[in-house]
Structure 1
């Protein structure tokens, strides 16, 4: 009976929607929530276990034995039926977690979907859906490097939204007011060592990129801020482009960094030595800093199309160095000679640059180029 039931479950994987995880859409799910009838990847199955068996009872297709009534219950449901119920009011700006996203985002999505049932009852989305929000986050100081509790406000203006933060509780004037149009938000668990619930908020000010590092004690609170910023940006896009499809409006509300890590960088003269720098590739913008938590980068470089004089090659011409994994990033202004610690790291950076340099720049990319040129 066990083999027969397992064979039936494997056949059910061929039904539309069941060949990917119900939550993150990763292919070839190997786990099932018996009572929900959802096929799941191992990572999402782990999140389901944390919900408790009163919400989701998870079993392995291959490792566990299945009773007839359990298989029948799953056969009557499946991912399409499950998502029609639990995602019927999933907002367009809400980012479905993928296999590459941090565990925090995946875990909170699963809780929102099944435990809090936010996408069945839209009135449960008030913590992030309105385009306005107020609360407290711990922010890293630009100079003293410590994290201090600060009041943050997301406000709606006539020409868009702004993110504000205040130094003291009773302050009426904000320390900083940030136009949300230039804001990007990424999770920064591995950078903010004091707390895993961290965000890096980047924006353009006075011709360069500023990074704010914040965290919250409650994982739901930091995820709510992430989605509140996405919701506010989406709202303004919908006002500005009322005829555009919601899926298109939601593209690029926030973008994860393409690649980050330590590299050695040679100075502009070939007699200069190498210095260790933290590099962040944010789509077409390459930033390098002395530290992953630097508030401002030491330099920013636009990565354009190969037709415009941009390229990347292994090695470095006329440069003698003991560095092994050296490569050169070519731009019209100068060549950046870089070195990675391993061949794997070097290949990752070279491939990332090549992919960008063979992609046609968008209007937003060209706007970034103008902004960076105005600062140079």
Structure 2
């Protein structure tokens, strides 16, 4: 008799999210599931030949989230809770980035903006991000600037973006002016939104991987 095996992962409903990703996964019935592991985002990509199976899993995750939120926020109405069941990413796509010293060469990375988490990956289907950046609000000294500092070198793409945080500046470069505009607009929407009490806790415990 085989001994029972431990599960490979335990995902807390509190931080669980699911979003349809047919183009990224390369399957019309592709689903991306994310959860937090040691305060870092973990991606799982799943698909099924039967679209109904994937939709059922998506709805099951949303139902579990709804039950969790009802318990966590007993005074909230269903209208307030439904938008929190699952979320789509604010934006995804390729940009170039450089390291914290801003002397390293720029490297092309896949970026995902998930609420206030800006994550970057070597490949769109990587399980873990190479790094994550918390994007706070303008009241807390976060801002986005068009362009790069004059001394910047090593970027192949010419349409720069600078994210200023209380700790440091992050430098990115986009391939096209349209990409640059879309990313800046996305960052501005996040930064212009006041931070919620629970987001201060996320900011305090945030781990950035250089």
TM, length-normalised to structure 1: 0.52
Aligned counterpart, 1:324: 158
1:217 positional shift: 1.3
Gaps of 5+ in 2: none
Going from structure 1 to structure 2, the CA distance change for 1:174 and 1:323 (only over 3 Å counts) comes to closer
CA distance in 1, matches of 2:4, 2:70: 33
Aligned counterparts of 1:265 and 1:344: Cα–Cα separation in 2: 18
Report if the CA contact (8 A) 2:132-2:207 is conserved: no
Residue matched to 2:48: 216
- Which residue is equivalent to 1:163? none
Of 291, 304, 314 in structure 1, the residue corresponding to residue 136 of structure 2 is: 304
Change beyond 3 A, Cα 1:276–1:355: same
Higher gyration radius (CA): 1
For 1:183, the equivalent position in structure 2 comes to: 16
Query: 1:223 Cα shift?
Result: 0.8
Match of 1:314 in 2: 146
Q: Give the match's secondary structure for 1:176.
A: coil
Q: Does 1:192 align with 2:35?
A: no
* Shift in Å, 1:364: 3.5
TM-score (norm 2): 0.90
Q: Does 1:290 align with 2:122?
A: yes
Q: What residue in structure 2 maps to residue 342 of structure 1?
A: 176
Q: Deviations over 1:68-100 (max 9, x none)?
A: xxxxxxxxxxxxxxxxxxxxxxxxxxxxxxxxx
Counterpart in the other structure of 1:14:
none
Post-superposition offset of 1:280? 0.3
Counterparts of 1:225 and 1:231, CA distance in 2: 10
Deviation readout 1:253-286 (Å, 9 max, x if unpaired)? 1110000000011222232111000000001100
Deviations 1:105-144 (A, max 9, x none): xxxxxxxxxxxxxxxxxxxxxxxxxxxxxxxxxxxxxxxx
Which residue of 2 is the match for residue 371 of structure 1?
A: 205
1:234 aligns with 2:66: yes
Distance of 2:161 and 2:72 partners within structure 1:
43
CA distance 1:322–1:264, change in 2 (3 Å)? closer
Match of 2:87 in 1: 255
Range with bigger deviation, 227-236 or 341-350: 227-236
- Helix, strand or coil at the partner of 1:295: coil
Quick one: structure 1 residues 267 and 375, their matched pair in 2 at CA, closer, same or farther if it must change by over 3 Å? Answer: closer
Contact 1:278 1:291 in 2 (8 A): yes
Does the Cα contact within 8 Å between 1:207 and 1:374 map onto a contact in 2? no
Q: Distance in 1 between matches of 2:16 and 2:72?
A: 17
For residues 1-376 of structure 1, the aligned pairs below 5 Å read 171=4, 173-193=6-26, 195-317=27-149, 318-320=151-153, 321=155, 323-373=157-207
